[in-house]
Amino acid sequence: MTEAAYETLPELESSETRIGASTVVMKFGGTSVADPEKIRRVAARLVDTKRAGTRVVAVVSAMGYHTDELVDLAHQVSPHPKPRELDMLISVGERISCALVAMAISDLGTDAISLTGSQAGIVTDTVHGKAKIVEVKAHRIHRELDGERIVLVAGFQGVSTAYDVTTLGRGGSDTTAVALAAALGADACEIYTDVDGVFTAAPRVVPDAQKLHAVSYEEMLEMAASGAKVLQLRSVEFARNHGVKVHVRSTFTDEPGTWIREEDERMLEKALISGVTHTVDEVVYEVDGVRPAELFEALAAAEVNVDTIIQMDSRIVFSAPLDDRPQADDALTGLGASYAQEDGLGKVSVVGAGMKSHPGVAARTFATLRELGVTPKFVATSPIKIAFYVPHDDVEKTVQALHEAFDLGSADAERQHA
């Protein structure tokens, strides 16, 4: 069974209601701020929004591939950089981009101020590299907004309860943005990115994949947990827990993208299946002779994000992200467990809220696999998902066949957003 693990609710300062002034949080990914010209374009969009009468908080990612370069640099210097120092290093990417955007805004005649995660009041636990936000102290941001400024917040980082700089895991600027939207009582969290929204499948694999107008939090959680890369999983959990409406949209156009929000009747009626996702970034482990309580305790202590779990007598099969492999190996070795690992499997997931009330999704899924001659190694389900593991080489054709079988490529597969 796969269960998306929901984070406990961090304490958020209740936002002071300001009559007549709505607030929006706008987040820009690395490609949106990749060079000086693009930074000026982001600044102009922020100024336009502010001039329309909205209080604007902007969260920016590091420029282009800057975070990757910093991680790489660390490893050129040291084979095992200390997590605390790595966080000190990689948090600077966001600091650079938000200072640059603030400068560009000033040149357009609007006041702006950049803040680090710490200055913005983002308090986290002490887990370097994937810290969780425990509190947002938004008074500084409120003060700056009251002073008619656009506030730029460095994404992906905070300050720990032990006063160290922490980062929130790769893709963590999404979570910064959603957390701020929740803390500030913003009308929406706009995520500007290099794709047009959330699609019925990865357009690179399925050329006729359609942009979805709206998906429910639950669907987006399942999609983000099973390969849709457009949002960090944790940001979706946060949005769901706090009811933040998220709008994922293109940074290059003014076109509407995909809304992620509470499920409603229309979503359930329109389409049975919302999308077919896939990932090849998971490792499947098979462990024998260790009690599940001990095994999962050790994995949790090592900060391994376990996904699918299957137990058969004394054998336990589980999957975890490729990135967590060193920690998983350490934990398993520490237990003296005999185990095997398989990194040649990909996971394909069929996701849709409509599956709760419509029978036949499993039948159509497995009939499609049979026609393809693909035999899944393991299957895991939730009320709105069927996921299965197949060899890497079969992943793309399986995604294509299921997309076709559920008729997701036709324009009316797309749900209209009210």
Length of the chain, please? 418
- Residues between 159 and 188 with contacts to ligand ASP, criterion CB under 6 A: 170-174
DSSP 213: S
155 binds, among Mg ion, ligand ASP, none (CB under 5 to 8 A by kind): ligand ASP
Among 171-179, 319-327, 367-375, 386-394, the segment contacting Mg ion (CB under 5 A): 171-179
| Cβ closest to ligand ASP, residue 174 vs residue 196 | 174
Q: At its nearest, how many Å lie between Mg ion and the CB of residue 194? A: 9
**Which residue, among 142, 119, 140, 124, has the nearest Cα to 23 in the 3D structure?**
142
Instruction: Enter the tokens of residue 206.
Output: 């399925």
Using CB under 6 A as the binding criterion, the count of chain residues that bind ligand ASP stands at: 12
206 binds, among ligand ASP, Mg ion, none (CB under 5 to 8 A by kind): none
171 interacts with Mg ion by CB under 5 A: yes
| Sheet of 55-60, strands arranged across | 112-115, 150-154, 55-60, 23-28, 188-193, 246-250, 258-261, 214-216
Q: At its nearest, how many Å lie between Mg ion and the CB of residue 157? A: 14
172 binds, among Mg ion, ligand ASP, none (CB under 5 to 8 A by kind): ligand ASP
Distance CA(252)–CA(198), nearest Å, equals 16
Amino acid symbol at 147: G
C-alpha radius of gyration, the chain, whole number: 22
Distance CA(350)–CA(355), nearest Å, equals 10
How does 273-285 read in b/e, with b if 16+ C-beta sit within 10 Å?
bbbbbbbeebbbb
Q: At its nearest, how many Å lie between ligand ASP and the CB of residue 344? A: 26
| Cβ closest to ligand ASP, residue 84 vs residue 397 | 84
93 binds, among Mg ion, ligand ASP, none (CB under 5 to 8 A by kind): ligand ASP
30 interacts with ligand ASP by CB under 6 A: yes
Q: At its nearest, how many Å lie between Mg ion and the CB of residue 171? A: 4
172 interacts with Mg ion by CB under 5 A: no
Closest residue to Mg ion, Cβ-based? 171
- Residues between 38 and 77 with contacts to ligand ASP, criterion CB under 6 A: 61-62, 67
Q: At its nearest, how many Å lie between ligand ASP and the CB of residue 327? A: 18
| Cβ closest to ligand ASP, residue 29 vs residue 257 | 29
**Using CB atoms within 10 A of its CB, is residue 33 exposed (0-12), middle (13-18) or buried (19+)?**
buried
Q: For the beta carbon of residue 252, count every other beta carbon within 10 angstroms.
A: 15
**Which residue, among 10, 368, 397, 408, has the nearest Cα to 215 in the 3D structure?**
408
| Cβ closest to ligand ASP, residue 174 vs residue 394 | 174
Binding site for ligand ASP (CB under 6 A): 30, 61-62, 67, 93, 155-156, 170-174
